[in-house]
Amino acid sequence: MRATLVRPTVLHCICAILLAALASSVPARAQKKDYLTDAEADKIRDADTPSIRIKLFIGFASGRIDKLKYEFAHPEDSVDREARMDNLINSYTGCLDDAGDLIDLGVEKQEDIREAVKQMHDQAPAFLAYLKEIEAKKGEAENYKDNLDDAIESTNDALKSADEADKELAPPPVRRDPN
């Protein structure tokens, strides 16, 4: 009777270990980022290619910049203002970090991310200029200095990833005329 009780216990332990291993192997992209809305997370999840995901993250970052511009233009709305501003800056940073990471991964896998890299080159310098403009202001901007520094660093890193992608990506295929 004792041997019968030992087997189910060992079997339960093995099952628990397997379940824990399976739970820890869930891909990171299946997990929702805390700085994305549910709709944004769905768009990222549904995107077919890395290039589309990168473009989405750049677009989300652009939206955060637009919201920051609005918030700085309307300082009279002071209810939870500091928390809102910190959240916007951190959300922007997260979006650009993820875009930069996807660019690095795309280069490593030699995926066609040229359009997304071009979009990064087109939009990120304006993001950087605005963030530096905010940082240069005295007063309220000093409350967000650490987060602004992180956002500026993230933007510089994303631009650096885009520059490296330009150098390392294989050229697009050339179709030859059969004649």
Residues 168, 107 contacting (CB under 8 angstroms): yes
pTM of the full structure: 0.77
d(CA 117, CA 109): 15
d(CA 8, CA 24): 24
Label residue 114 by pLDDT band (50, 70, 90): very high
d(CA 22, CA 68): 40
How remote is the C-alpha of 107 from its chain's centroid?
A: 16
pLDDT at 20 over 70: no
State in Å, rounded, how far the first CA of the chain is from the last one. Answer: 84
